[in-house]
Each structure stands twice: as structure tokens, then as C-alpha cells.
Structure 1
Amino acid sequence: MSGHVMVFAPTPLLTVTVDQPSDQPEIHLHPGGQGVWQARMIMSLGGEVVLCTALGGEIGQVLEPLLVSEGVELKAVVRDSGCGGYVHDRREGTRQEIVDVPGQPLSRHELDELYNLALGEGLSASVSVLSGPNHPALVPPDLYRRFAADLGANGGRVVVDLSGDHLGAVLESGVFFLKVSHEELIRDGRAAGDDEEELTRALYDLHDGGAESVVVSRADRPALALVDGEVFEVRMPRLQAADPRGAGDSMTAGVAAVVAAGGDLRTAIRTGAAAGALNVTRHGLGTGRLDSINGLVDRVELAPAVGRRQARTTPDELAGRAAER
């Protein structure tokens, strides 16, 4: 396997932002969606990315050259229906949504073509990131279950940032790393509240369900990480946020980039936390200077969580499970 990352981004978006940083208004066009933002941050960290996606309609025609111009290696299947997009007005300093078009669900044929394309690329990558669709109805959860199973059975490391039925599907097959927010855990009924004891229980349940390592983000509080059976608080410096969106995607991307380059998981989580912290100081999602991110990594601490439960699985058992998968 090479040291690059395959990012599965089935439903990319065209983002249109109206801004006015000076006297005259400006219109900005960018490719977006979870997988695109993750790929952008991986490249910001110096990683090589193959982005596997589906493009169609007028929006797809606009997205293709925009993605290529960002330097990503693009692998795309052509779809009959159009991609989605949104228009935001940021002239007042906050994002006002004007219109949000999720796009159409992928057809069975389009899903088969995209699956075969992304599987072939994932089998040759060091890490595969399975990003979620911008609306749950666009891609069936079972596709993610099959993807995680086929990649894992052939020695692939699968990294995900999913929730709902799509998270449940990949857990059936097992994943190397899972990032999820505490709001998503509560919404999905996997946690009864946001206190540390309840979220710690959810961490262990997710591990027992199929995730080797887990990070639960908690908005402005330190994230919780389960690594080798121990729970840690991910403590990082506080920075003023220009745009709070995108921190979780940047964290997931940072983990994937470091692991693909041969780094250990704890360093990967610290790097991901630094990338997420820096991203919120910027207006562009999935962006950040490599030197600035590296400067923050040493300020991120994995501190044993107070009152953490004893691990229910030993490191040797974890390794055994990984080998079985």
C-alpha cells in the first residue's frame, strides 16, 4: 500500500458564498461537502489524496474543474441526475442560508459504478475515509457496511465520521477510527446526555460495536478519545472562532493524514485536534496552514479522563480483533 488517502465523497456540493469584505460585494464558488473538506485538509497537511465521487448535471460540470484546480487527484463517475449545492450570504458577518439543494439520490447503477471505482482505489491506499452523504437519503447505509467490510477484510484502515443509520452500518463491519459528535450520539439514542460518564459509556459501547478507536467531539469542551482501552480528554488551546463549522471534518482528516504517513494514532489525534482548532479561526472549511497546525500540535494534550472506567478490552484483544478484520 502507498501512503496516500482515498476519500469516498459520494455527494459533493457546489458552495456559493456572497461576501463583502470591502466596499464591493463578492461571489465565491467552491467545491464542498464533508468528503471534499476532509480531502482539502489532508492536502493542507501534506498528504496525497484520491477523491472518489459522482458528478452530474450543470453543478457537476462546474464542480469538476474546481476540484481539479485544488490539486486533488479526482476519480469520478458520471451520474444522470444533478449534484447538490447551497447559496449563503455572509455580508452581515454570519451565514444566512438563501437556498440549499441536496441533490438527487444516486441510482443503483451509479452506486455500483462508484462502489467499484472507490473500492479499487481504497485497496491501494494506506487509509480510506468514508465520508457521509450531505443528506441520509442520497446513499443507502448498506453501501457503507459493504465498503467497510471489503476494505477491512483486505487489510485497509477505514476512518469514518458518520452518524445515524450510516454509522450503525459501518460498525457492523468494523472500522479503524471513528469520529462522532456528542450531539449526534444523543440524537441517535447512543447517549442519554452530555455528561462525561454517559459519553464514556457511549465510547466503550461504540468500541464494543466495532470501532477500534473513537473520538467524541464536545463543541467547546475537550473531546473524549478512546485509544487502546483508555479514555483521554483531548485538551487544546482556546482560539477565537471566525466560523465554528468544519472542526470535526478537519480532525478526521488530520487523523487520516498522519496514520497514512506512518504516524501513531495518539499523534494523529493530537494533529487532528490542532487542525480542527485552527480551522475555526478561518472562513474556509477544511483549510489551514501546515506550519500553523504543526505549531499547535505540541499544545494539544491527551490527558487521562478523570473517573474513567476500566477498559473492558485489553490492548492484546484489540490487536486480535484488528487482525481478524
Structure 2
Amino acid sequence: MALPHAPILTVTPNPALDVSTSTERVVAEHKLRCGPTRLDPGGGGVNVSRVVRNLGGHSLAVYAAGGPTGQAYRELLDREGIASRMVRIGQSTRESFTVDETSTGEQFRFVLQGPHLSEPEWRALLTAVGDDLPREGFIVGSGSLPPGVPVDFYAQIARITHAHGGRSIVDTSGEPLRAALDEGVHVIKPSRRELGELVGAEVGDESELVEAARELVGRGACEVVALTLGGAGAALVTRDEVLRLATPHVQVQSTVGAGDSFLGGLVLRLAQGRTLRDAFCTAVAAGSASAALPATALCEADEVERLEEGLVPVG
């Protein structure tokens, strides 16, 4: 039975129609015969909405899409039963390609740049967010920004969110993330490299990572840093505590969508009023459960619950 929770809205300015397949070996200049093809509506915020749904929650996914791929994308999202609002754009939604090399287990990922959004188009996306923004809810802005969208796009969303008494969560990198932090957000989810870029220093061991995260929290840029470290686990840093979790043991098949799954688990538990410690456990379990699935498949509730049982945060 689904638990009640605060409203969740996700924003995806640069969604991608995820195409995944496999071939025995990737060889230059050869015609590569592929196995079955899988299509999924991907992109940061939409993937978060899909994971929230898989774990028994509800959200509204706001995204920009256009052209034939945009139409296919919308149909896939509707088929999955995700509540959404599409802002139509003139150019076609991008695609991303994931190819598994069956002879080696290696995975090759090709991520296209995405369509150019005109100023009226990205402003229409902001308007859609403002129109649908719930009061005292959680707003997740996630993914890269397509060409034409200003670097302070997520900062503008954070500003709108604050005006509605909500909490903003941002998962992006580079200048768009820096601009969002200048505005102030509730949660960010950087990798080791992204955190180093933010603080302008190379971060090596765990103590340096934690110190860099504390510096961001200390200056009021965000309240929570959820630091993902791949196979090395994750850390969650606030003003008052540092929590660490090792990654559950799973047979990794694909890392596509693992970070989005982490964020989906985190935001759903926070929206349910659970503690940061509980939310952190669900996040790590969700990311690991997705990594154990092939191609662009995302975690399911039963496996997330199973992995959660063995997780005990340190700190």
C-alpha cells in the first residue's frame, strides 16, 4: 500500500530517448549485428519520476520534447503511467545509445548533445514549472542543460521553489550546478570529480571529500550533500553529521540510471517524512538495485527493500 507523501515535481530540460542493445564485439568499420533493442524514456528528472513510481510514490514530470523522437518519448512515458507535462519544442528530442559488448562485458554509452531551445521555449518550461509547482513540496531539477538554455536555469527553478515554500534538489554539474548553489538549494548529488570542480581543488581521500562537502554546507550553498562514489559507496554530509554507506554487493550489469535511482529513492523517503538516515539507505539500495539490471532498466521495490535490510550507515 502506497504511503502518503509531500508532492514531488521533477524537471528535465534535456530528456533522451534511451536506446539500448548488445553486440558480441564492438569493432571499427564493421557492420555490427545487434541483439534485441530496448527503448526507455530517459533523462535525469524523468528517471527520478520513474523510480519514485517504482517504489510506490507519485510525482509530476515536467520536460521539454519535440519532433518524432519527442512523440515516441511521450508515448513511452504515458505507457508507464507517469503523470507528466510536456513543453513542446521545435527541434527533436535527443537519443542516447547504450551498447553492451557481450564478449567482454564492457558497456559503451553514446550521449547526444540535445536540441537547441529558443528563449521562448525554455521560458515556457520555467512557466510550466511555476504553474505546477506544489506548495511545500520537493522539486528535483536533474540532467544536463541543452544548448540555448542559460546556466542559471536550475537557479531560477530554486528561486521559484523557495517562493512556494518548497525544497529544491539539483543533480547537474559544472556552471549550472555552481549557479544553483549561488542561489541556495536543499540537496545536491555530486560525484567525486564534480565536488572537486565546485570547491576548486583536487579531492583525494574520503576526509578531503567530506571537508569539501562541509565547506559547501557551511557557506549556506546547500543543506545536504549526497556524495556518490560508485563502487566505493556514498556519503551524506549535513551541518551536523556525516553518514557513510558501503555499496551492497550486487553483480553490476549497467550503471545507466543508477545515480537517478539513488536520487529517486532519496527524495521519495524525504517526501514521506522519513529521516535522512532512512532516506540515505533507500537511495544507496535503489542505486545498487538499478546497477544490477541490464541496459536502461530501473530498480523495483522488492529488490530495493531486500538490499535496504543489510544497510547500516556509519557516522
Partners of 1:209 and 1:266 lie apart in 2 by 21
Which residue of 94, 111, 114 corresponds with 2:106?
94
Shift of the alpha carbon at 1:125? 6.5
In the alignment, does 2:37 pair up with 1:27? Answer: yes
In the alignment, does 2:52 pair up with 1:42? Answer: yes
Runs of 4+ aligned structure 1 residues displaced above 6 Å come to none
Match of 1:313 in 2: none
Q: 1:115 corresponds to which letter in structure 2?
A: L
Match of 2:286 in 1: 275
Q: 1:281 corresponds to which letter in structure 2?
A: A
Shift of the alpha carbon at 1:221? 1.2
Shift of the alpha carbon at 1:189? 5.2
In the alignment, does 2:212 pair up with 1:199? Answer: no
Match of 2:143 in 1: 132
Q: Deviations over 1:105-149 (max 9, x none)?
A: 21110111110111222234621111122x564532212111101
Residues 250 and 286, structure 1, Cα contact 8 Å, conserved in 2? no
Partners of 1:70 and 1:191 lie apart in 2 by 42
Residues 273 and 88 from structure 1, CA distance in 2 versus in 1: closer, same or farther, beyond 3 angstroms?
closer
- 5+ residue gaps, structure 2: 25-32
**TM-score w.r.t. structure 2 length?**
0.88
Shift of the alpha carbon at 1:209? 4.2
Match of 2:170 in 1: 160
Residues 136 and 165, structure 2, Cα contact 8 Å, conserved in 1? no
Residues 41 and 165 from structure 1, CA distance in 2 versus in 1: closer, same or farther, beyond 3 angstroms?
same
Partners of 1:205 and 1:294 lie apart in 2 by 33
Match of 2:86 in 1: 76
- Structure-to-structure mapping, 1:121-270, within 5 angstroms: 121-124=132-135, 126-133=137-144, 137-188=147-198, 190-207=200-217, 208-270=219-281
Which residue of 1, 4, 17 corresponds with 1:14?
17
- 5+ residue gaps, structure 1: 305-325
1:220 counterpart SS class: helix
1:271 counterpart SS class: helix
Aligned length: 301
Which residue of 58, 76, 101 corresponds with 2:68?
58
Q: Higher mean Cα deviation, 245-254 or 274-283?
A: 245-254
Shift of the alpha carbon at 1:52? 0.2
Q: 1:158 corresponds to which letter in structure 2?
A: S
CA-atom RMSD in angstroms:
2.3
Partners of 2:295 and 2:60 lie apart in 1 by 21
**TM-score w.r.t. structure 1 length?**
0.85
Q: 1:197 corresponds to which letter in structure 2?
A: S
2:314 counterpart SS class: strand
